[in-house]
Amino acid sequence: MVLETSSNVVDRVKSVKRDSMTNVTSSIISKLDQRLFSNPAHPIGIVKNLIYDRFRKFKNSNDEDFQCFDNFDPVVSVEENFDVLCFPSDHVGRSRSDSYFLDNRTLLRTHMTANEPEYIKQGHRAFLISGDVYRRDEIDSTHYPVFHQLEGVRIFDDQSITKTVGTDFPSPFNEHFAINYDYETQRGQDKLALRHVTTDLYFKLMGLMRHLFGENTPIRWQTCFFPFTTPSFEIEILYRDRWIEVCGCGVLQQSILKDCNAPVNGWAFGLGLERLAMILFDIPDIRLFWSQDERFLNQFQLEKITKFVPFSKYPSTFRDMSFWLNESGDFDANSLFDLIRQKAGDMVEDVKLVKNY
Ligand code: FA5
Ligand code: MG
């Protein structure tokens, strides 16, 4: 569903009738209308626009015309976020400990993929979408319960597949791993078509990564698993001696595309905008993106990647805390993290379980 106005979402979420699944907190609700990705001078908006611009350029090269959208409602149904995308019924994302539920039928989307099938159904064949996503998570410098994803989708009609598939196909994955087309093919999928789709995906994303990070930054692809793609990959960037996962992607399940009345060959990817921005701007802590401090906000300029200059923070202090749990055993750590965030906001940098007696 496309969003009408952002304050609308906050009112709507506040007025939802609570039930046994409701766990959305007021500090999360306060994030719903911030729309960092709509500010073209905020690092999240700058990276988003750089990627949109890069994909819009394909229009001039006889390639698909990628359309860009970012006005989606973050409130989705359980069906949109999980069922349509083939998540098994016992997937941990469906639980109250991992996701923010409004009630037993609706939640704050945990990934932008939730908004894709609706657009494919409407007939879009090449598009980028971005927005805020919500996951109950730990508290540290790389995890925050709200972050931003930019996703891309391309669906090939049967003609464009047969037209472009040659016999002499480059194998894009030879450097890091060989993709086994026999093993990875979805049941019934045409192997040549699969090769075409994965190769297009690989070159589009590698082109983007090189465009953002230059020729010399080490980048690697790993195979992984998503319920809605086969094969599936993750892209990692080496930053300060650590491999940071910046993207998940793969070849869309044909069953999903069939249910959308679309041709059955297509790819999708999802990029983490904070992760990209942290590497590009040298921003050390994910919480800084939410800062209202002018010393943060005034550092950035439209369409420019600049290096972040740290400013003084509060002097750090450490606190130990111990407590008894009641006997019902229904404690989960994410609820404690939410409680701490609720009371102390982003002043708390890190929470660690030291001992469990
Ligand atoms: C997904 O959310 C998939 N929907 C991506 C996808 C789309 C796969 C389409 C295939 C086809 P994942 O949970 O890995 O996948 O998240 C995607 C990216 O979001 C990650 O690579 C990472 O860059 C970013 N990300 C994930 N969790 C966090 C977090 N807690 N904080 C900041 N960024 C995160
Ligand atoms: Mg991942």
Dihedral of alpha carbons 46, 49, 51, 53, sign: negative
* Strand positions, DSSP E, the chain: 67-69, 75-77, 106-108, 126-134, 146-156, 219-226, 229-239, 242-252, 265-272
Nearest residue (CA) to ligand 1, atom 33: 272
Give the number of whichever ligand sits closest to the CA of residue 248.
1
Most informative mutation of 81, 115, 226 for ligand 1 (most atoms within 8 A of CB)? 226
Does 98 sit in the ligand 1 pocket, CB within 6 Å? no
Residue among 98, 110, 147, 236 whose CB has most ligand 1 atoms within 8 A, to mutate: 147
351: confidence class by pLDDT, cuts 50, 70, 90: confident
Q: 236 CB under 6 A from ligand 1?
A: no
Q: Which of 24, 45, 26, 27 is nearest to 289 (CA)?
A: 45
Pocket perturbation via mutation, ligand 1, pick of 202, 245, 290 by most ligand atoms within 8 A of CB: 245
Taking only the tens place, the pLDDT of each residue in 18-55 is: 999 999 999 899 999 999 999 999 999 999 999 999 99
Q: Which pLDDT belongs to residue 86?
A: 97
Q: Burial level of 155, CB count in 10 A (0-12/13-18/19+)? A: buried
pLDDT at 281 > cutoff 70: yes
Ligand 1 atom closest to 271 (CA)? 18
Q: Decide whether any atom of ligand 1 lies within 6 Å of the 248 Cβ.
A: yes
The DSSP output letter for 325 is P
0.75 surpassed by pTM: yes
Confidence of residue 64 (pLDDT cuts 50, 70, 90): confident
Query: Among the listed ranges 101-115, 158-172, 254-268, which one has the minimum average pLDDT value?
Result: 158-172
pLDDT value, residue 180: 56
How confident is the model at residue 120, as a pLDDT?
97
Task: Band the pLDDT of 306: cuts 50, 70, 90.
Answer: very high
Residue closest by Cα to atom 19 of ligand 1 = 272
Tokens describing residue 226: 């998503």
* Per-residue tokens: 156: 């090939």
Q: Which atom of ligand 1 lies nearest, measured to the CA of 234?
A: 21
Tens of pLDDT, residue by residue over 108-158, are 999 999 999 999 999 999 999 999 999 998 878 888 999 999 999 999 987
Mean pLDDT of the chain: 87
Query: What pLDDT is recorded for position 193?
Result: 84
